[in-house]
Structure 1
Amino acid sequence: MATVVSAPGKVLIAGGYLVLDHRYPGLVVSTSSRFYTVVQPASRSGKIIVNSPQFENAIWAYDVKLEGDGIRIEQVEDATGSKNRFVQTALEGTLAIALAIEEKIHSLRWTKDWTYTSLRPMIFTLNAQALPPTLDSLNSIPPFLPQGCPIGQVHKTGLGSSASLITSLVSALLLHFDAISPDSLSSDALRMKDENSRTMWPTSCKESQMDRPCFPPLPLEQSMEPHRLSLQTPPLTRIMLADVDSGSDTPSMVGNVLKWKKAEPAVGTFSDQLWEGLDKCNRGLGDIVNRLSQRYDEDPNRIREHSRQTDPSKSIKWERQSPIEALEVTVAQLFGNTRQLAKSIRDGMRAMGKSSGVPIEPPEQTRLLDACCALPGVIGGGVPGAGGYDAIWLLVLQPQDKELASSVVASVEKLWQRWTELSVSPLLATESLERGARKELLQDVLGLEAALKGSA
């Protein structure tokens, strides 16, 4: 009997680098993309086979040995896949918990839908005639299509998909070995040992949130809930994501920023003041976003009225922002605060990049984001996660009037298509309000069963 678990993708829209320090929270948005793991019996005795059928030569085989009270996992040299420390670490930790691995040999199959991995190669090769890089083009592509290349050559977005993949893998194993119940999938997880992913796993298990990591690790029941606040993008808005066809070496960027920060550890230094200022903006953005949601619950017509003020022929006149602490502010002022805080966060991230010598928001990305944020209906944006050349995010108004909402999206897409300094392609993923990691039925996931049969 196969066990299928999916986990959502996520975007760190504020808190990059700061979240590596337990004092600072980050704003994480859960997305509509989902990553799937299928656990099923295998015929090879004494081994675990991990297969990611969308990539060439993506098969990893592991010998599993019980040693006293522990488990040792070694990669088999004749496997076609290169070493994968994410997979091996996940297997070692999860199976050490389950311990039910004895006498149970399983095959793991790893797949993901196309809303988070870059679709650029598929957009231009799906048909003999090239398709434009638009959301409509992406919607026409069937799920789980092969990438046609080894996993090391896949075009990634830099949005942290590793954490989502590992979350689905760990959750599927724990569920398969009855170590957890399906209802607990949203609250149980292993902490990532990787600096770039460990801040992201809570959203892969949960939903959009303001999250503060706990380091050093605490017992699970102590380390989860006290450090998380619910977060939801404001009503009548949406997140738009784009893949930028350049890419960055995220581990190197993180290492260099941490080295810079370590060189100025004292309170009152430039790096300390910069991080404190960024933290205030990050927290302020989370507060304003939640206040907009609260205001919608109290008086939805005010939000609806403001969202309709996105005439494509006119620029939105954002009201001068009022202090974040003020209680009596208009809806326009709240949106204005959101816009200003997003800009202030970008300013702070650029300052950090300049001081550390790391291209957190490179000039090319700055020019792209400035152009996007000047469009009617665009509230703000930035470079997600560790930044660099990988991707951008935008928060845009989405009025109830479908024609008006479409015009906002269309204006952004048109700018991306015409942009020449960087190659920009939209991503299908938007914010998702669905629960996080969850058990699935194989036959209910469109295209998944066929993808597995094709790799058999």
Structure 2
Amino acid sequence: MTVSPGSPRTTVVSAPGKVLVAGGYLVLEPQYRGLVIATSSRFYCVVRDDSSAHGTGNNGDFKDGLATRDSVAADRPLDADSALIVVRAGQFPADSSTWRYRLSLERLSSSTAQKNDKEEEVSETSHPSITLAPLDTSKRNKFVEITLSRTLALAWEMIAAGAAEAAGVDKGTTETGILGSQGAMGADVEWAAGRELLRRLRGEGRACHLVMLADNDFYSQREQLAAASLPLRLSSLAALPPFHPLPRPITSTNKTGLGSSAALVTSLVAGLLSHLSLIDLTPASTPTSTATATATASAIPTPEPVLSPSRSLDLVHSLAQLAHCLAQGKVGSGFDVSSAVYGSHLYRRFSPSILTPLMDAPISPIVLPSRSGWASGAAEAAGVGEAGVGGAAGVRGTSGLISALDPSSWDQETVPSRLPRGIRMMLADVDAGTDTPSFVSRVLSFRKENRAEGQRLWDSLERSNGSVAEAIAGLVRLEGSKGYDEALRRAAGKRIDETTRAHLRALSAASGVPVEPPEQTRLLDQCSALPGVIGGGVPGAGGFDAIFLLVLDDPAVVDSVEDTWETFSEMSVCPLSARQSDGGLRAETVSGVRGLAEALGKA
């Protein structure tokens, strides 16, 4: 990509939502698998340099007013060793959904005492660190903030590794690691790599802007349909503009359970790493052109090559899993992030022990792995607390992210899958609430306290889930054969979901947790009785939030399902426009996504 002076670089990536159609609860344990289907609805991250922001006022304000004096971090004008990062959730009110950060390259000092025969000598050393400081600490978004901090930490480490390799640093010694000695050589390489990171981040200006936009299905559109006096039908959803603005802050907006946080984190990681020329998401069949950095006194000698598309996906997966787990405060199953990266597949989770050391690392400025031991003491001496240095984001000291996130050390299993030709996934948002974390906690407590019964139910669910996955795979294998259409019609009469749903109802009764509530049972039974409906259920952890159906992709079948949803009296059922999608994370263009340019203009 060739960038002319003054023209902003723009990077666009998207990640799909997810539906766990088989494997709820079981997918938390590595001995079981889940079938996750990616959705056609996607989450977008648009990254752009601010080429107009070449200078700042006396207060550190940009000409466009992006930085303000509402923070100590804004008192100092931006210079060659700092950059502004602005993240905007484009569909929500700007005052509550814009987050600004100052990224600063700084030197931290430490004292080392050494005794000789006569006296104690104290030597002062300094090493580079990077601080990500929010400009307004009164409003924070942990998913955005933690994802930024971990992505920037990995980016700095990757650039430094490339610089060390270009400089001929010996990577074979365990004491010094990939970044060279603890002396001037290592510090100089790290500082140059930090400046190169800032240069790539801000481009021709002083800032990097990221806009996050989601297809309408990720958030409930009931209020928007009611305001337009439109019925709860697919045709009504199609009448709404793409990336429809939402009136309230994110925390006050109902989500539909498609995995918005996982898709946000994944697209943010991929968008930023792509923008920094560290990964390549271009399909292998598409020719690529990689920008090369100009070698200057402040830049690394030569830029490191971007990773291949397949390795890029694997690295994004590892980093997004880490960021998502940190934001959630626990190591989850990871199927939602996996689907956001790889699309539809059979999933077996990774070992939690892979991420546990990174979850427990102390909060500190971002430092490189050769400084991690030193940085812990320096951070403690500096009084670094839960907010980081000077109110900085909760960035965690690295123990070598390149090594920890190396995909070859991860053990998750992803087997590509898809729905057969002629079958469509239909989704509905049910107007009732489910506390998913509470559901999971209560079900797992039941299993722990009733080991024999719990194991019996888990094994029964594993067998029935396997039958569902095999039935789907069997139809895929028959595609193109003369008997395929007949096999599809037979599948519509078998109700492949019945056994799994029966086991989920047994789990509901045994645990006291409404995994498939009676209201959902009656709704699903009505739908399953319709001609052309192959099966369905409550996705993921179950509850009242949503249902999915697998149906013949026939307009008459879709209409009959919609009629049933619209007339169901026990709960309000609103369709989602999403279908299944086989694709995962991918690069996009602004012009190639309907409505994206208009949405960016309003964001």
* Alignment TM class, shorter chain as reference: 0.7 to 0.9
For residues 197 and 65 of structure 1, what CA distance do their matches in structure 2 show?
34
- In structure 2, the partner of 1:327 is none
Task: Tell me if the contact between 2:89 and 2:97 (Cα under 8 Å) persists in the aligned partners.
Answer: yes
The counterpart of 1:12, out of the listed 20, 24, 31, is 20
Greater CA deviation, 347-356 or 231-240?
A: 347-356
Q: Quote the Cα distance in structure 1 between the aligned partners of 2:407 and 2:457.
A: 33
Question: Which residue in the other structure is 1:97 paired with?
Answer: 154
Determine if the alignment matches structure 1 residue 378 to structure 2 residue 533: yes
Measured in 1, the distance between the counterparts of 2:136 and 2:262 equals: 26
1:429 aligns with 2:466: no
Asked if 1:166 is matched to 2:268, the reply is no
How far residue 444 of structure 1 moved from its aligned partner, in angstroms, is 2.3
Q: Is 1:135 matched up with 2:234?
A: yes
Task: Give the secondary-structure state (helix, strand or coil) at the position aligned to 2:335.
Answer: coil
Q: Which of 59, 71, 74 is equivalent to 2:98?
A: 59
Of residues 330, 338, 359, the one that matches 1:202 is 338
1:48 counterpart = 2:85: yes
Q: Measure, in 2, the Cα distance between the counterparts of 1:197 and 1:86.
A: 17
Deviation for aligned residue 1:197 = 7.2
Whether the 8 Å contact between 1:196 and 1:250 is mirrored in structure 2 is no
Name the residue aligned to 1:38: 46
Instruction: Report the alpha carbon displacement of residue 31 of structure 1 after superposing the two structures with TM.
Output: 1.1
2-structure distance, mates of 1:450, 1:224: 40
Paired letter, 2:210: L
Q: Is the 8 A contact 1:236 1:303 kept in 2?
A: no
- The alpha-carbon distance between structure 1 residues 356 and 222, as it changes in their structure 2 partners (threshold 3 A), is farther
Aligned-pair CA distance for 1:410: 0.6
1:117 partnered with 2:219: yes
Match of 2:245 among 141, 146, 160: 146
Amino acid at match of 1:147: L
Q: CA deviation at 1:224?
A: 6.5
- For the 8 Å contact 1:245–1:424, the answer to whether it is kept is yes
Contact 1:37/1:111 (<8 A) preserved: yes
- In structure 2, what is the equivalent of residue 22 of structure 1? 30
CA deviation after TM superposition for structure 1 residue 232, in Å: 1.2
Q: Partner residue of 2:115?
A: none
Q: Does 1:413 align with 2:549?
A: no
- Measure, in 1, the Cα distance between the counterparts of 2:473 and 2:98: 44
- Cα distance change of structure 1 residues 281 and 370 upon mapping to structure 2, 3 Å threshold: same
Residue segments in structure 1 that go unaligned for 5+ positions in a row: 310-331, 399-404
Q: Is the 8 A contact 1:116 1:428 kept in 2?
A: no
Distance 1:291 1:421, change over 3 A: same
User: What is the rounded CA distance, in whole Å, between the counterparts of 1:135 and 1:21 in structure 2?
Assistant: 37
Distance of aligned partners of 1:365 and 1:101 in 2 relative to their CA distance in 1, 3 Å threshold: farther
Q: Determine if contact 1:159/1:385 at 8 Å carries over to the other structure.
A: no
- Give the secondary structure class of the aligned counterpart of 1:188: helix
* SS in structure 1 of the partner of residue 432 of structure 2: coil
2:458 counterpart of 1:275:
yes
Q: Does 422-431 or 107-116 show the bigger shift?
A: 107-116
TM-aligned CA deviation for residue 72 of structure 1: 4.2
Counterpart-to-counterpart distance in 1, 2:43 and 2:517: 30
Task: Show CA shifts across 1:41-69 (max 9, x none).
Answer: 24444432211021122112234345757
Gaps of 5+ in 2: 1-8, 54-66, 68-77, 109-126, 157-195, 202-206, 283-308, 355-403
Among residues 437, 446, 450, which one is paired with 2:594 in the alignment?
446
Code of the residue aligned with 2:147 in structure 1: it is: A
Q: C-alpha separation between the residues in 1 aligned to 2:217 and 2:561?
A: 18
Q: Give runs of aligned pairs for residues 301-320 of structure 1, distance below 5 A.
A: 301-307=482-488
TM-score between the two structures when normalised by the length of structure 2: 0.64
Identity %: 41
In 2, the alpha carbon distance for the partners of 1:101 and 1:296 equals 49
Deviations 1:181-214 (A, max 9, x none): 1232544322131456722112211221111111
SS of residue paired to 1:443 = coil
Distance 1:15 1:354 in 2: 18
SS at match of 2:591: helix
The answer to whether the Cα contact below 8 Å between 1:6 and 1:439 also exists between their aligned partners in 2 is yes
Does structure 2 conserve the Cα–Cα contact (< 8 Å) formed by 1:241 and 1:392? yes
Structure-2 residue corresponding to 1:353: 508
Q: Aligned equivalents of 1:28 and 1:71: distance in 2?
A: 38
Query: How many correspondences in the alignment?
Result: 412
Residue deviations 1:324-379 (CA, integer Å, cap 9, x gap): xxxxxxxx3x6666x24x22222222222333332221111111111111111111
1:254 paired residue number: 440
Equivalent pair of 2:434/2:545 in contact (CA under 8 Å): yes
Deviation at 1:420, TM superposition (A): 1.4
Q: Is residue 2:269 matched to residue 1:181? A: no
Residue matched to 2:524: 369
Q: Hey, what does 1:75 align to over in structure 2?
A: 134
Tell me what 1:322 maps to: none
Give the whole-Å Cα distance in 1 for the aligned partners of 2:558 and 2:409.
Answer: 39
Q: Is the 8 A contact 1:133 1:425 kept in 2?
A: yes
The structure with the larger Rg is 2
The 5 Å alignment of 1:196-235 reads 198-216=334-352, 217=354, 220-222=406-408, 227-235=413-421
Query: Which residue of structure 2 aligns with residue 324 of structure 1?
Result: none
Alpha-carbon separation, structure 1, partners of 2:208 and 2:340: 24
The correspondence for 2:431, drawn from 242, 245, 248, is 245
Q: Is the 1:353–1:360 Cα contact (8 Å) retained in structure 2?
A: yes
Cα deviation digits, residues 381-417 of structure 1 (max 9, x gap): 001111111110000112xxxxxx1110111000111
Task: Give the whole-Å Cα distance in 2 for the aligned partners of 1:213 and 1:131.
Answer: 42
Residues 101, 257 of structure 1: alpha-carbon distance in 2 compared, 3 angstrom cutoff: farther
Task: Note the aligned Cα RMSD (angstroms).
Answer: 2.3
Q: 1:223 to 1:238 in 2, by over 3 A?
A: farther
Answer yes or no: is the 8 Å Cα contact 2:15–2:266 preserved in 1.
Answer: yes
